[in-house]
């Protein structure tokens, strides 16, 4: 990267899932790493256990002294950092090398054979499957993931530097910093309209990303998207296609068609047709570097999953508890469809924490429609993340629009009590805020009772 003319890296927002993966990368390169974040989390505690100095107040006096030398320190920040952040302004004003996370990721992967996974949904699961497939077939990879892989128990893996796997994030147009050899686009639903303004601007950004592949690059696109590329789909005429699906004991068994041949009896263990598509495109991308085919098929079957992506927290006769990161109406629909497919006839209680005031505003009617499909709904307050409240945009307003009468707005403090009062057959927690921590607490409570 001007290939590391510094020895220290300081992160502003080090606890973010993408930022922490970069922090682990630089630590693996024997560089000194430190950082700031707003609040402690299990992820920041893991980083601290690896020897990274982290503080939780925007206070320059807490930055370790060696990181205050501009000639020897790279500053990496997340776009979520507010413009009045004192540390960020100091480093900018004092002439430090200050780069966005996406810039650094682009520089790290520039000289590798880069696999990039883009799309408004499915990036983390697809890139995690792809990393697992490549690792299990002996490909020397470095992977930066947007979630904690249950196969690696991490969001970062370093098995070599010849190949890289990254998520091509459309937020803040970050993916335009990448120049992949092989890329996929899983979906182009409207999202991040606070950044893009309208759906067409966001779609144009995906088209620009597609144009940034290296000259001999290959682009895989889900069948039906308005893009040219190698197509993939289910029960259609795609270049890579899944057909003849059966379900046995929660496992999909199917035939996988490629342009050269059909592989019969392939197995995949993550519920949901959306996850089948994620697995299919990861397989299609991995096959391009000619790994042993039998090992590739076996690796697809052994993929464990990603934390908070259709994760079973409890799986008992009297209670099934699933936790999922779904924070967009399309994702909520996919989770509901997967539960109905895998657990037909059971009643489902959904607990949803909306994420961002702007997203709740932009998709108010769609959220209401998606949530109405569950048998009952408990709604938490909106998780603000980087945003200030927007007048008139509240969980109360969303609740009013949900047509299902079995609905209630609840606090985190009352959540366990409200769930127990409903005695659900299936409980699913949904959202991209801190509801994952609530899910862990609920798991402990329900396991203790049993």
Task: Identify the residue whose tokens are 């203790």.
Answer: 448
Q: Taking Cα atoms as reference points, which of 328, 330, 370 lies closest to residue 350?
A: 370
CA atoms within 13 A on the CB side of 307: 19
Check residue 423 and give its pLDDT: 92
Which tokens sit at 71?
Answer: 């000639």
Check residue 396 and give its pLDDT: 97
In CATH, the number for domain 311-449 is 3.90.190.20
CATH 3.40.50.720 domain position(s) in the chain: 8-100
**Fold entry, domain 112-302:** 3.40.1190
Which tokens sit at 106?
Answer: 């682009």
Check residue 345 and give its pLDDT: 92
CATH 3.90.190.20 domain position(s) in the chain: 311-449
Check residue 386 and give its pLDDT: 78
Summarize the annotated binding site as residue ranges.
119-125
Check residue 377 and give its pLDDT: 98
Instruction: Decide yes or no: CATH 3.40.50.720 for domain 8-100.
Output: yes
Summarize the annotated binding site for ATP as residue ranges.
119-125
CA atoms within 13 A on the CB side of 247: 13
Check residue 169 and give its pLDDT: 81
CATH 3.40.1190.10 domain position(s) in the chain: 112-302
Q: What is the pLDDT along the chain (450 residues), one digit of tens a residue?
A: 445 678 999 999 999 999 999 999 999 999 999 999 999 988 999 999 999 999 999 999 999 999 999 999 999 998 888 889 999 999 999 999 999 988 899 999 999 999 999 998 899 999 999 999 999 999 999 999 999 999 999 999 999 989 999 998 876 677 888 889 999 999 887 555 556 566 777 788 888 889 999 999 999 999 999 889 999 999 999 999 999 999 998 899 999 999 999 999 999 999 999 999 999 999 999 999 999 999 999 999 999 999 989 999 999 988 999 999 999 999 999 999 999 999 999 999 999 999 999 999 999 999 999 999 999 999 999 999 878 999 999 999 999 999 999 999 999 999 999 999 999 999 999 999 999 989 999 999 887 665
Q: What is the DSSP string of 316-376?
A: -SS-EEEEE---SHHHHHHHHHHHHHHSTT--EEEEE--B-HHHHHHTHHHHHHHHTTSSE
């Amino acid at each position: 990267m001007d290939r590391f003319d510094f020895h220290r890296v300081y992160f502003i927002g080090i606890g973010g899932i993408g930022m922490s993966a970069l922090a682990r990368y630089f630590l693996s390169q024997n560089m000194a790493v430190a950082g700031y974040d707003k609040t402690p989390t299990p992820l920041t505690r893991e980083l601290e256990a690896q020897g990274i100095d982290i503080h939780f107040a925007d206070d320059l006096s807490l930055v370790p002294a060696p990181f205050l030398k501009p000639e020897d320190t790279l500053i990496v920040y997340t776009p979520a950092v507010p413009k009045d952040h004192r540390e960020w302004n100091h480093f900018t004003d004092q002439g430090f090398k200050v780069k966005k996370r996406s810039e650094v990721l682009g520089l790290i992967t520039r000289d590798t054979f880069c696999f990039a996974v883009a799309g408004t949904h499915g990036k983390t699961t697809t890139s995690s499957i792809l990393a697992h497939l490549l690792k299990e077939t002996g490909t020397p990879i470095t992977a930066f993931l947007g979630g904690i892989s249950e196969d690696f128990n991490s969001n970062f893996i370093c098995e070599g530097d010849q190949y890289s796997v990254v998520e091509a994030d459309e937020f803040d147009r970050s993916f335009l910093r990448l120049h992949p050899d092989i890329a996929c686009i899983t979906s182009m639903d409207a999202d991040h309209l606070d950044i893009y303004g309208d759906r067409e601007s966001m779609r144009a950004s995906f088209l620009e990303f597609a144009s940034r592949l290296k000259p001999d690059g290959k682009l895989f696109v889900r069948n039906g998207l308005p893009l040219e590329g190698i197509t993939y789909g289910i029960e259609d005429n795609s270049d890579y296609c899944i057909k003849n699906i059966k379900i046995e004991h929660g496992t999909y068994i199917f035939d996988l068609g490629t342009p050269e041949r059909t592989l019969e009896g392939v197995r995949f263990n993550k519920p949901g047709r959306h996850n089948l598509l994620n697995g299919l495109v990861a397989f299609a991308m991995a096959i391009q570097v000619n790994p042993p085919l039998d090992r590739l098929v076996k690796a697809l079957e052994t993929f464990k999953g990603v934390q908070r992506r259709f994760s079973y927290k409890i799986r008992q006769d009297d209670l099934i508890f699933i936790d999922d990161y779904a924070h967009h109406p399309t994702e909520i629909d996919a989770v509901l469809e997967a539960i109905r497919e895998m657990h037909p006839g059971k009643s489902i209680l959904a607990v949803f924490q909306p994420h961002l005031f702007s997203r709740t505003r932009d998709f108010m009617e769609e959220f209401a429609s998606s949530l109405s499909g569950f048998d009952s709904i408990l709604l938490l307050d909106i998780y603000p993340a980087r945003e200030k409240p927007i007048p008139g945009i509240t969980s109360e307003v969303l609740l009013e629009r949900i047509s299902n009468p079995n609905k209630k707005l609840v606090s985190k403090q009352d959540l366990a009590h409200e769930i127990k009062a409903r005695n659900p057959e299936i409980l699913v927690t949904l959202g991209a805020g801190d509801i994952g921590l609530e899910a862990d607490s609920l798991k402990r409570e329900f396991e203790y009772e049993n």
